[in-house]
Amino acid sequence: MVPMLLAQISDLHIKPPGRLAYDKVDTAAFLRAAVASLLQQNPMPVAILATGDLVDGGHAEEYAHLQEILSPLGLPCYVVAGNHDERHGLRTAFDGPGFEYLNQTGEFLQYAVDLGALRLLVLDTVVPGEGRGQLCEQRLRWLDERLAEDRRPTLVAMHHPPFASGIEYMDHFGLENADAFEAVISHHPHVERILCGHLHRSMQCRVGGAVASVCPSTAHQVALDLRPGATGAFVMEPPGYQLHHWHSGRLVTHTCPVGDFAGPFPFG
C-alpha cells in the first residue's frame, strides 16, 4: 500500500495586506511561516487541505492576499468554507488551474477528491452571516450518497467540528445538528477521520465511530478555558498545522508547531 501524506492548515484568517486581525495578529506573517515550515517537510505532502476561515472578512482582496502567500507551495490545495469565508468570493478567487474541483459544487461548497488510497469528501457547514454551523438535509444527503458509492477509507473535511468542545464560548458557535451528522457517519464505518477547524486548537473526539480531529490555527489559538460562562479569548500559543500520514493501512495524525525550536539533537 503506497504511503500518502496530506497537510492540513486551518483558520488562517488572512486580512488585506498591512491589516492585523483583532488589531493584534499578523495572520499573513503567521501563514508565511507555516508555508516555509511545510516547504521544509521531507517527504513533502501531496496536497494541502485548508479547513476554513481562510480569510477574516470574506473580501476579494483578502482571497488575493491568501493566494499570493500560498503560491510558493505549488501543491494542490483543497479549500473548505468557514464562517469567516464567503462562498461566492471564495469560488471566484479560486477559479483557476488546480481548483477545477470547485466546478462540482452547486449552492454549497461540497466536493469529492480522489487521493488514491483515500477519498476526501469536503462539506460546507456555513450559515451565511453567522458564526454557527449547520448541515441541512440536502448537504447530509449528499454526504450519505457519496459515502455509499465508494468504500475506500474516507476523510470527511468540514469547518465546524461535530462535537461540543467544552469551551462554552466556542460551543455557542458550534455545529447545530451534529446528531444528524453523527447518524450518517455511524452508517459508514469506512470514515477514517473527520478533519475540522474552527476551534483554533488541537482536539480529538469520537463521533459516529470515527475520530474527529481539529487542527490548530496557523495564527492565534482559542484560550483553553473550560469554566462554565467563561469569556471567549484568544492566546498566542504556538501556531501549527497537521500532517496526516496514511501508511500500513492506518492514518496517523501529527501536530506540527511552527516556530524556532532548538534541536533536533541525537539521543546518544
- Which residues bind to Fe ion, rule: CB under 5 A? 11, 53, 82-83, 198
CA 174-159-72 angle, 5° bins: 150
Of 82 and 208, the one with the shorter C-beta distance to Fe ion is 82
Rounded Cα distance between 137 and 141, Å, is: 6
Helix 60-70 to helix 27-39 angle, to the nearest 10 degrees? 30
Of 45 and 82, the one with the shorter C-beta distance to Fe ion is 82
Smallest separation, CB 177 to Fe ion (Å): 17
Of 65 and 198, the one with the shorter C-beta distance to Fe ion is 198
Smallest separation, CB 169 to Fe ion (Å): 12
In the numeric block, the cell 508547531 is attached to 257
Q: At 244, list the grid cell.
A: 496526516
Smallest separation, CB 264 to Fe ion (Å): 31
Rounded Cα distance between 116 and 185, Å, is: 21
Of 4 and 194, the one with the shorter C-beta distance to Fe ion is 194
Smallest separation, CB 168 to Fe ion (Å): 16
Of 154 and 218, the one with the shorter C-beta distance to Fe ion is 218
Rounded Cα distance between 148 and 121, Å, is: 12
Smallest separation, CB 80 to Fe ion (Å): 10
Strand ranges for 109-197 from DSSP E:
111-114, 119-122, 154-157, 191-196
